[in-house]
Structure 1
Amino acid sequence: MIEIPSSIEGGEYQLNDLEQLLKPIGYTIGGNWDYDHGYFDYKMDDQEGYQFLRLPFQVVEGQLDSSVCTVKLGTPFLLSHEYEGGVDEDADVGNFSASFDQFQSPENKDAPIPESFVNTGRVLVSELESIL
């Protein structure tokens, strides 16, 4: 994980407004959200694992599943996940268990981030600063 300090840190926004600004440029709300915090993710690459720019936010007022929710932005950071290559040929997966185990867990949840993605992350954060 590599943090990218930014002038957007500490900014407060209506979550719906943030979604309207960020979704059209490729951000999604990541699956790691809870009632009081979450992340906007921008997938930079998925060739050798996954490289993301992640923009964390904390709920200031309301709840994430409500129609009105105010959030405070945290420090953007880069995240890299490496996945084990190949398919597990010895797996005994039935229809029932497949509904729960659809996705492979990362082999390394905090893999090294190539310098080219660090530069891309800085450019993306600059873009966020100009939009927000």
Structure 2
Amino acid sequence: MKFANTGIEKNKAAVTRLDEVMLSKGLVREGQWDYERVTYDRRFDLKEGTYYLRVFGYSVEGDVDTRKAVIQLLTPVLGKYYYPHGVEYGEDEVFPKSLVSQCEKILTEINAEIEKFAVK
């Protein structure tokens, strides 16, 4: 499921600042990066299954490993985890309404924080 029109996808910001904001909202980068891309994840374990809120981004300036990169964020997604295949984001997936609402709130808060220091 894509979260269109959150405003996040319009932002560019320093990777170090993004790491701080995302972590404050429970999204971690951990090993989810290479020199040009990042993925911030938040895991939700519910009775219906395991879900991931993901915010992807790519470097428009610098390398992620130097921690001096400027990241262009992409449209956030929500996916459901299936063992052993991985996370599915398809249109056929059904997501609990309370989870979708919680994710929308988190993304709104993240966007508000990022807009304070976004690179124009």
Category of TM-score, reference length = shorter chain: 0.7 to 0.9
> Any gaps of 5 or more consecutive residues in structure 1?
84-104
RMSD: 2.1
Q: Which residue of 2 aligns with 1:77?
A: 77
Whole-Å separation in 2 of the counterparts to 1:72 and 1:115: 29
CA distance in 2, matches of 1:49, 1:63: 35
Work out which structure has the larger RCO, using CA pairs closer than 8 Å and 6 or more positions apart in sequence: 2
* 3-state SS of 1:28 partner: coil
- Report whether the alignment pairs 1:118 with 2:104: no
Distance 1:109 1:26, change over 3 A: closer
User: 1:109 and 2:87 equivalent?
Assistant: yes
Distance 2:21 2:87 in 1: 28
Deviation at 1:80, TM superposition (A): 1.1
1:9 match: secondary structure: helix
Secondary structure at the aligned position of 2:52 is classed as strand
Helix, strand or coil for the counterpart of 2:8?
coil
CA contact (8 A) 2:32 2:40 kept: no
- Tell me if the contact between 1:39 and 1:54 (Cα under 8 Å) persists in the aligned partners: yes
In the alignment, which residue of structure 1 is the partner of 2:3?
A: 4
- Unaligned residue ranges in structure 2 (runs of 5+): 115-120
Deviation sequence 1:59-118 (CA, Å, 0-9, x none): 1111111131110011111111023xxxxxxxxxxxxxxxxxxxxx34x63173233322
Q: Scaled by the length of structure 2, what TM-score is found?
A: 0.77
Structure 1 residue 51 displacement after superposition: 0.8
Query: Paired residue for 1:127?
Result: 109
| Superposition TM-score, scaled by structure 1 size | 0.71
Considering only CA atoms, is the larger Rg found in Structure 1 or Structure 2?
A: 1
Deviates more, 1:39-48 or 1:49-58: 39-48
- Give the AA of the match of 2:51: Q
Q: Which has the higher helix share?
A: 2
Aligned pairs, number: 109
Q: 4+ runs of 1 displaced by more than 4 Å?
A: none
